Structure formats: structure tokens, C-alpha cells
């Protein structure tokens, strides 16, 4: 490994199969590590997204952005972790949640596995706000474990969590399109991206009554009482597939730059 990680930046690829970790053999991954020490891990959730939004929204969007960033950079993309910390959504059928301790242990073990093979940069593209605190705690525990086990990458190993929906260009674009109707959950911006990714979801969109206003988040029973249909101040009927295409491009552009800088850090 050279001291300059940026010298091992791979560059764009045309075939998405060439960046999917799950389609590689172990000798191919071993060869990849001779040229690049970075990997992308999409992190989502399986939870309700209002009466018209797909339960897999957070995983679908995180994976789509991760794959596009991978195509633009040539960096490997790990299989999507589709379950997250969504305890507050358990009042709605279909939601499948991990407890914070479970998610922490899972992410700790995944990034530790990567560190043990020689990966030095784990770039987690997240699609669910409820994962943020737990993921960062998992990284801190992983750093301690890597040091305690004296892994060869210990002095260079770093993880970074990025939330595609919080990229400045995405946030600005969503506000331009939807204003205050963007809300905070089952937002038209994330629904728009799913409409772009999966045409069958377009038939589910319909006008909805005024959503419950944005407010605090507590347990599942309280959440269901405050937000009866699962939305928090949002109007997903404003979402259009063409908006989703632009959102995907803006998110991928921002995160490609972020990943490039991450790989260049000493």
C-alpha cells in the first residue's frame, strides 16, 4: 500500500457488475486490494413510508446512490444492509427493525471483517436518519477492536457515514421543488427517487389529506398517534419520477466528490 491512497483511485466503469462485491471471487478482491483500499457499503432500512411509499425506500435509495457512485469511481460496492434502526415505525405493518445494539454489533462486525482483509476506507452511504447515531457508535467500537487486535491497517483504517438525502445540492433541490411540503419522513424527494427506480410504484401515488405536522419522535405507539398515516409534514404526491432522476444525479455527484476526498485523506 502506498502512502497516497489517491494514487489508487480507480476511475469510472461502464459495467455495474464489475463493482459489485457479491459478484467477485476472493482472488479478484485480493487483486482489487492491490490497487484500491476503499469500499462502499449501502445502509438502509425496511420501514413504512406513509400510505403510498414503498417500505423498502431507504434501502432502495441508498443502494441506487451507492451503485452510481461506484460506477463513477470504480470503487467496490458491498451488498446493501437493508435493515436499520426503525423501532419508532413498528406501529405500522411491514416495518422490520433492528434494535440499536443489534445494528451496532452488525456494523461493527461488517467493517471489522473488511479491515481484517486490508480495506482501509469504508464509505457508508446511508438512507435512513435513524441509523446515524448507531452507525457512528459502531465505527468507534470498530476502531478500538482494530487497534486491540493490532491489525495491519490499524493506523490507517477509517469509516465515514454519509447521508445521501443531506447532500447540500439534494437538500436545496428538494426545497425548490416541494418547499415546506418536503417534511421529514415519507418525503417527496425520497419517494421521487423510488419512482425513478421502480416504475411499478408510480401507480401507488395518489392525493393524500393534510399530513400531521413535524414533531418529536418517541416510541412506536406515540409515533402512530402523532403521525397516523406515517407521514411527518410531507406530501409525497408531489413526487415525480423525473425529479428522482435529477436527485440521483445530484446525490451521486456530491458523494463521488466526498468519496474521492475520503480516499485521499492520510
What is the 3-state composition of the chain as percent helix, strand, coil, each rounded to the nearest 5? 55, 10, 35
Parent domain of 258:
5-264
In the chain, which stretches have pLDDT less than 70? 1-9
So what's the pLDDT on residue 178?
98
| Rounded-to-integer distance, Cα 1 and Cα 50, Å | 47
pLDDT of residue 266: 77
- The closest of 158, 113, 151 to 5, measured between CA atoms, is 158
- The helix/strand/coil state of 123 is strand
In the prediction, which pLDDT does 2 show? 37
The whole-number pLDDT of residue 5 equals 43
pLDDT in tens, 30-86: 999 999 999 999 999 999 999 999 999 999 999 999 999 999 999 999 999 999 999
- The pLDDT assigned to 6 comes to 39
Report the CATH number at residue 17: 3.40.50.10310
The pLDDT of residue 9 is 57
Q: How many domains does the chain have?
A: 1
The whole-number pLDDT of residue 208 equals 97
Task: Provide long-range contacts, Cβ within 8 A and 24+ apart, for 106-109.
Answer: 106/81, 106/138, 107/43, 107/81, 107/134, 107/135, 107/138, 107/139, 107/142, 108/138, 108/141, 108/142, 108/145
Amino acid at each position: 500500500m502506498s502512502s497516497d491512497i489517491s494514487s489508487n483511485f480507480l476511475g469510472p466503469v461502464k459495467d455495474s457488475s464489475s463493482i459489485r462485491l457479491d459478484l467477485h471471487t476472493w482472488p479478484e478482491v485480493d487483486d482489487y486490494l492491490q490497487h484500491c483500499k476503499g469500499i462502499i457499503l449501502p445502509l438502509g432500512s425496511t420501514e413504512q413510508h406513509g400510505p403510498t411509499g414503498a417500505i423498502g425506500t431507504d434501502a432502495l435509495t441508498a443502494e441506487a446512490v451507492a451503485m452510481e457512485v461506484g460506477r463513477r469511481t470504480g470503487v467496490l460496492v458491498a451488498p446493501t444492509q437493508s435493515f436499520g434502526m426503525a423501532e419508532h415505525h413498528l406501529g405500522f405493518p411491514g416495518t422490520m427493525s433492528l434494535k440499536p445494539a443489534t445494528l451496532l454489533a452488525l456494523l461493527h462486525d461488517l467493517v471489522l471483517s473488511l479491515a481484517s482483509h486490508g480495506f482501509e476506507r469504508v464509505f457508508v452511504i446511508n438512507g435512513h436518519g435513524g441509523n446515524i447515531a448507531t452507525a457512528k457508535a459502531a465505527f468507534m467500537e470498530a476502531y478500538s477492536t482494530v487497534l486491540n487486535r493490532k491489525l495491519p491497517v490499524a493506523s490507517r483504517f477509517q469509516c465515514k457515514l454519509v447521508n445521501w438525502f443531506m447532500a447540500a445540492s439534494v437538500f436545496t433541490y428538494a426545497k425548490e421543488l416541494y418547499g415546506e411540503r418536503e417534511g421529514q419522513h415519507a418525503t417527496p424527494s425520497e419517494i421521487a427517487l423510488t419512482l425513478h427506480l421502480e416504475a411499478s410504484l408510480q401507480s401507488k401515488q395518489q392525493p393524500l389529506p393534510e399530513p400531521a405536522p413535524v414533531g418529536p419522535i418517541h416510541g412506536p405507539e406515540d409515533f402512530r398517534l402523532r403521525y397516523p398515516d406515517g407521514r411527518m409534514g410531507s406530501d409525497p404526491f408531489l413526487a415525480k419520477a423525473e425529479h428522482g432522476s435529477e436527485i440521483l444525479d445530484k446525490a451521486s455527484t456530491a458523494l463521488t466528490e466526498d468519496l474521492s476526498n475520503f480516499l485521499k485523506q492520510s
